[in-house]
Structure 1
């Protein structure tokens, strides 16, 4: 069984968002890698202050290609765990034949999954920002509090924002909304096992969106599972109770991973 875990972060985040999962898994004997998107390799304060110009040029395809190169260089097929857009990327990587198992935590929509009205509202600031399809955009504290972490106190929201939130390429939001470059073959029976998870109170990746993706995967004979975490928001990887999410993910992957 694979003892390597590759974490894939989502929009607005740096790899630091996986710090809790990574420490917990490393204590259990896993080797953990959390590669940054191209252009996101610097410390969070630097990313917040001055994002690199190349970040604006990223697309879904460029990000997934970046992770594919990293994964193919590893000595064994890893367990892939992604959050938000990272969950979409994990599905695309599995579809390319990579990974021993994949966990998509509150994933962004793949082609054919229609974003719900609450999710569209959460993404509205990106679409209202001028020329956002060709530049980096910033998430406001208010948007993070509403769309990611409505279960945290104001003080906790501010602390999480300062520690984790960075600018992100606006282009990927247009791609997700229009289904451009986000296709997966739902009928692919050769891919590794996949777990899709949803947070009951998630406003960014609504539960019905994740359930819709799960239903589409029923065309495949590959192992696919769906789990809802009651009472959890989009920030379930770092808010109170993250341990339950982390343990469920790795235990499921360990049980179902290709050997």
Structure 2
């Protein structure tokens, strides 16, 4: 039995985005799971019409299933690390008690955060999704991607990254633009009485989820039974994975995780 971590990717992404983080964590003895959410629907080319039935609650349910499966297999709840949409879903897993700690990297703002003045900047950030044609031409608008998602990524790497992005549901995009439309108010995060450690990470050059938005998210987590922590990487943008600074971020979250997540409890036969 080993310490476990569940990595959750963001919009357009896949489990492959976490390959460098997974390699680092595995070298230090962690079991890593980095699933690609709904790969049969979220294709890179010509997605089925059924994709547009996927909503936010489907993502939350699937992520919760992955976390519960890890607990069944390992006997202990995992740490969850989420980026972008994965960062918002990771907060839901904390609220549901599915995990024993959470790290939220450039998390999409929940309803509470948006109510504290981030609705406009969030809408601006989502333009790279909302301006995308719904026809099966490209999964995202290339201008929005280059301006927002990939502004800190070398230009020679961008074409390959864009070609590897996956289509997202039009329903999901609409829900993220108007969180109050999500059934069950699941985009609201109640941080009270959560007795597990959290770390929110913002990036100073992020044009999709501003560092100010991440700071407000972290401020909300100060009201948990264990007050959340915040750190900012000034030279990183939204898409952290191919940045030269990503190794510094991964090292930081590994050190934080080793200090805040308990060791597995081993039972011995009598």
User: In the alignment, is residue 205 of structure 1 matched against residue 181 of structure 2?
Assistant: no
Cα deviation digits, residues 191-246 of structure 1 (max 9, x gap): 42111100001011101111111222222222311111011100123311211111
Q: Which has the larger radius of gyration?
A: 2
Q: Residue 83 of structure 1: CA displacement? A: 0.4
SS of the residue corresponding to residue 244 of structure 1 reads helix
Q: What is the TM-score when the length of structure 1 is the normalising length?
A: 0.87
- Using CA pairs under 8 Å that are at least 6 residues apart, name the structure with larger relative contact order, 1 or 2: 1
User: In the alignment, is residue 103 of structure 1 matched against residue 103 of structure 2?
Assistant: yes
Task: Report the counterpart of residue 145 of structure 1 in structure 2.
Answer: 146
Task: Report the counterpart of residue 92 of structure 1 in structure 2.
Answer: 92
SS of the residue corresponding to residue 113 of structure 2 reads coil
Q: Residue 182 of structure 1: CA displacement? A: 0.8
Asked whether the equivalents of residues 126 and 173 of structure 1 are also in contact (C-alpha less than 8 Å), the reply is yes
Q: Residue 34 of structure 1: CA displacement? A: 0.8
Q: What is the TM-score when the length of structure 2 is the normalising length?
A: 0.84
Q: Residue 118 of structure 1: CA displacement? A: 4.4
- CA pair 79-33 structure 1, distance change in 2 beyond 3 A: same
Q: Residue 170 of structure 1: CA displacement? A: 2.8
Asked whether the equivalents of residues 125 and 209 of structure 2 are also in contact (C-alpha less than 8 Å), the reply is no
Q: What pairs up with 1:74-93 in 2 under 5 angstroms?
A: 74=70, 75=74, 76-93=76-93
Task: Report the counterpart of residue 124 of structure 1 in structure 2.
Answer: 127
Is there any run of 5+ residues in structure 1 with no aligned partner, and where?
A: none
RMSD: 2.5
